[in-house]
Structure 1
Amino acid sequence: MKILRISFFDSNPWGDGGAKRTAQITEILSRIESGEQCIKFEDYYANSFSRIHFTKLQVLKIGIAILSRYKLLYHLANKKRPHTFLANVGVTFLVTKDILNSFVFERVILENTRSEYWYLPYFLDYLGIDFIALPHNLEALVPGQVSFLSQKRAPNWLTEELKKLTLAEKLFTISHEEAWLLSIYQLGGTYLPYWPADEVYQHLKKIRVKRKNTEKQGALIIGSATNPPTYQGMALVIDYFSNKKSFQYPIYLAGYQTDKIFNHLYKDCPDTIQFLGAISQERLTELLTEVKCVIINQQNSSGALTKILEFLIAGIPLVVNQESIRSYQNVNGIYPFYCHDQIESYLDQKLGIPSMPQYPEREINYFVNFVNTWIQKRSQF
């Protein structure tokens, strides 16, 4: 095994967007010649921490050495206890080194995302380990996200995120927009679009077939109400339709905590609006077969919404706000809206069946060939 992949998500094709992206990468990398192993970093942290031994002076020296090399010492000014922060950097470095020593590998693929793991690109570079990065999104552009290092709020710490990404030999992004932005900074981002794992793809194709023989009515809004951009977008749509007492189409709101949060906030909603909460895969399949469309109204963020592509594969028209479309501009089956009146207008129309999206063979083959070549170059030395 020559590649170790470090992720922060379970590889679950039926999970949330992060888990789906990790599952996609797992399926793609099954095609590489040398083999790879994926680890969820946090699952190994506690065991490694219990194994290592260190003195306070030792970890302070390590922390100073690493922050000095990468010109990060100025962040100490933001810390109430700078010595504690330095010691934590040193301890985390020793833990990370111990985790890496548990595996036999030559190179690393880093699915770099969360701000609290800001140190991983620096540690890999410090240890002389070559890596490529597949950020699920640019975290510094996600509304509400705060930098672990500087405590700045998005998007004011974008330069921090870009700085650590410069250490990667190659960057692959899930959206066109992020690849373009990285190229502006001369970081050479390459677009690797999302495509569902095969078992999910086959399931979505079955929904497309079933929809041909069912009467369509109403709309579905789905997502976790605990995700701020998703919650804000949902609330705006419900605000609009809750004041439409004569609105005749059912609107289903499904997803984690949608029943508890929205039933509490919208006690006087018309009966046509139903808050379902978390639902089973079977119930979701029924809804996707029956509804006229899916409404997506997420606030500005980075990355790309995996569910847009999945719903298109399932043959479901999508009514989507401009901020959510991102990498799916001008795609057949997407009906953009700029004000909520347009949603109601779309529900009064006959919406056509979206064309079946094409498998991104060129982009995925490029990624596979790049990884194979990357490994072979190292093996020659």
Structure 2
Amino acid sequence: MTAILRSSKFKTDPNGNGGQRRSAQIQELVIQAGLEACDINLYSTNRIDRYVGGLIFLAKHKFNAYPSHRVISLCGKQSKIYYDNLNQHKGSKLLLWEDTENYIAPYVAKDFDFNILALPHNLESLVPDQRDPFTYQPLPDSFANEAKQLAKANAVFCIAREEQWLLKLYGIDADYLPYYPPQPILSNLLELRQLRQDTAPHRFLILGTAINPPTRIGMIEQIQWLSEISQGVNFTIDIIGYGTETLKDYCCDPRFTLHGTVDSGKLNHLLLNAKAVLAHQKAGVGALTRIPEMLIAGVPVIANANACRSAFSYPGVYCYDSRDELVAQMSRTLDTPSILERPADAETRFINCLKKLTLTSNVTHSLV
């Protein structure tokens, strides 16, 4: 297989969180393209070397950064790591750039004549209360800088239609690669779908990682909305996910059962009994990986407009914008959604782009 380099803060773990599952999806497509993605090797560097290296990098590239010891040293550390990895790489000169909040990568990649394929898991500058990691600027300057860095890539594939649209407004010809679960997850979801045919689901399920600020804020608001709904409305809700133990003070209503962090066996049991999964976000970026997964498992999804971005047209997704609409969706008959189709055309475009950028890179070396 031909080796390419991958820069990401996520491991390719199909059993991990949403970011790790997205990385696993990408890895699966890389293998289908006949390539092998080798991760950037991270290591610690000397404090003085970091600072001096940062000054050299900033001067060479006229890189806009806040003039602090911390930021200058960060530039020096990252530029050194990328310089060494790219210099030692013997495969094709193609960098899969997943950690697109790391703005150093494209500068060093261009120094080594690498092609760059950017795969932002989300537009990082649009995360609530997020500031530019190098200038500390808030919106809108932080987004303008993020778009400037993404424009350095030879190709960009977004996980969300909304982010593709936004980047196109900034002159970046971004493509769209929606999330679809990699094979190990897909097999489990299809098995769950089959098992659900012999059940009578009657409970609602809220799941998410509560240590993620946008997810936590959305879960709290949804719990508050549901708590304010009249006691005469008949529903029971299970709440699960990493860190959800911290939501105990919000779950006083007896209609809620807070399970906290659960293993895969418990998760599957709750999914078998779920009438629908409830998803709610006050603000969010990227796209929720759990929505296509739930639909494939045969579980309908009731989500507010912020949460179901890029999934409005999916069969089995029921959208709401108010408490009354939420109650109406929960009270209706929810049929088993059809199996979500693979985004075959998008996958083909991505694989073809990978092959093209590999062929046009300067050096190709097959791993033995």
Q: Is TM-score (shorter-chain normalized) higher than 0.5? A: yes
1:275 Cα shift?
A: 1.1
Change in 2 beyond 3 A, CA 1:88/1:217 = closer
Q: Kindly, what percent of the aligned residue pairs are identical?
A: 29
Q: CA deviation at 1:202?
A: 1.1
Aligned CA distance change for structure 1 residues 295 and 88 (closer, same or farther; 3 Å): closer
Measured in 1, the distance between the counterparts of 2:121 and 2:209 equals 18
CA contact (8 A) 1:250 1:273 kept: yes
Question: Residues 215-266 of structure 1: CA distance to partner in whole angstroms, max 9, x if unpaired?
Answer: 111210000111111111111121122344444321111011212x111344
Contact 1:196 1:310 in 2 (8 A): yes
Gaps in structure 2 of 5+ consecutive residues? none
The code of the aligned residue for 1:44 comes to: L
Does residue 27 in structure 1 map to residue 28 in structure 2? yes
Is residue 290 of structure 2 the alignment partner of residue 292 of structure 1?
A: no
Within a 5 Å distance, the mapping from 1:11-90 to structure 2 comes to 11-33=12-34, 35-39=35-39, 41=40, 44-46=42-44, 49=45, 54=49, 60-66=55-61, 68=62, 70=63, 72=64, 75-76=65-66, 79=67, 81=68, 85-90=71-76
Equivalent position of 1:147 in the other structure: 132
Q: Render the CA deviation track for 1:31-81: whole Å, top value 9, x for unaligned.
A: 123x22231x4x6222xx26x995965653343212x2x5x2xx34xx3x3
Between the two proteins, the alignment pairs up a number of residues equal to: 362
Return the letter of the residue paired with 1:104: K
Structure 1 residue ranges, 4+ long, deviating more than 6 angstroms after superposition: none
Conservation of the 8 A alpha-carbon contact between 2:50 and 2:74: no
Q: Could you tell which deviates more after superposition, 98-107 or 281-290?
A: 98-107
Aligned to 1:308, the other structure's residue is in SS state: helix
Matches within 5 A, 1:247-262: 247-259=233-245, 261-262=246-247
Q: Which has the higher contact order (CA 8 A, sep 6+)?
A: 2
Of 228, 250, 266, the residue aligned with 1:283 is: 266
Structure 1: gaps (5+ residues): none
For 2:50 and 2:358, the matched residues in 1 are separated by 37
In the alignment, which residue of structure 1 is the partner of 2:98?
112
The TM-score with structure 1 as length reference comes to 0.88
Q: Is the 8 A contact 1:113 1:139 kept in 2?
A: no
Matching of residues 1-381 of structure 1 within 5 Å: 1-33=2-34, 35-39=35-39, 41=40, 44-46=42-44, 49=45, 54=49, 60-66=55-61, 68=62, 70=63, 72=64, 75-76=65-66, 79=67, 81=68, 85-113=71-99, 115=101, 117-154=102-139, 156-243=141-228, 244-259=230-245, 261-266=246-251, 269-378=252-361
Q: Offset at 1:289?
A: 0.8
1:59 and 1:198 mapped to 2: Cα distance?
42
What secondary structure, in the 3-state scheme, does the structure 2 residue paired with 1:299 have?
Answer: coil
1:166-186 superposed Cα distances (whole Å, 9 cap, x missing partner): 111111111111122222222
Which has a greater percent of helix?
1
- Please state how far the C-alpha of 1:299 moved relative to its aligned partner: 2.3
Cα separation, partners in 2 of 1:227 and 1:104, compared to 1, 3 Å: same
Over 3 Å counting, the alpha-carbon distance change for 1:156 and 1:289 in structure 2 is farther
> Equivalents in 2 of 1:106, 1:249: separation in Å?
56
Maintained 8 Å contact 1:215/1:290 = yes
Is the deviation greater in 305-314 or in 347-356? 347-356
**Cα-to-partner distance string for 1:85-132 (whole Å, 9 max, x where unaligned):** 4454234322321233343223233333363x2221222223332211
- Distance in 1, Cα, partners of 2:212 & 2:10: 16
Q: Is the 8 A contact 2:121 2:159 kept in 1?
A: yes
TM-score (norm: length of structure 2): 0.91
Q: Whole-Å Cα distance in 2 between the matches of residues 92 and 348 of structure 1? A: 53
Moved more, 101-110 or 17-26: 101-110
SS of 2:6 mapped into structure 1: strand
